[in-house]
Homo-oligomer: A and B are copies of this chain.
Amino acid sequence: MIFSSKLIEDAVQEFSKLPGIGKKTALRMVLQLLKMQREEVEIFTGALARMRQEIRFCNTCHNVSDGETCAICANPGRDHSQVCVVENIRDVIAIESTRQYSGLYHVLGGILSPIDGIGPDQLYIETLHNRVKENGVEELIMALSPTIEGDTTVYYIARQLKDLPVRITTIARGIAFGGELEYADEMTLARSIAKRLPIENYVTVHNKV
């Protein structure tokens, strides 16, 4: 694409650095900014710049935070004896958005993946160990991807913590609500039969959701 304005060209160039944004989409966004009032665009760019400048990571759980401790860890109304272990902050947002979980989190920053060069030292496993040891955590809920890497990470962490008095659970795997049995993969289907629940539990869970 050829632009007669350097200002437009630079803005399009910058937008197309974002994931999944090609030149055409970038141009559409730039033209949208052009249509907006100057003050609105200042608010837009200000919010992005401030986010990147001021964002911090929680000292305790490594979630993104506006201060030293994130809003979740700082909330006395939450259950501090439960910690949900996740891969990244996107997972925290996903679980928070269900409004069904009231414990804390621990963001590992990834999962073990020898092929990508990610070993235990690249993840926040040591701080998890310290938290469990010092903060009276009673249950760790492992909410990692159901992949070989995810399972390996769960197994590794469980071994690291085996001498501590903490209960380790994993989130349930099974057929999704609204999912069709015939399209489920064999592994999921087999596991969901093996881990079947008494009907009373089903009704409770169903009504709660």
Contact = CB atoms under 8 A, between A and B. Distances in A.
Interface in A3-35: 3-8, 10-11, 13-15, 17-21, 25, 27-34
B36 A52 contact: yes
Contact of A70 (B5, B18, B34, B96): B5
Contacts of A11: 47-48, 51
B5 A71 contact: yes
A123 interface: no
Identical chains bound together, number: 2
A13 B20 CA distance: 19
Which DSSP category, helix, strand, loop or mixed, fits chain A's interface? helix
A2 B99 contact: yes
Contacts of A43: 14
B14 A70 contact: no
A198 B4 CA distance: 35
A19 B27 contact: no
Interface residues of A, number: 59
Contact of A6 (B4, B41, B66, B90): B66
A64 B1 contact: no
A33 B4 CA distance: 28
A92 interface: yes
A126 interface: no
A64 B17 contact: no
Contacts of A18: 29, 32-33
B38 A29 contact: no
A189 interface: no
A87 B18 CA distance: 29
A135 interface: no
A44 B64 contact: no
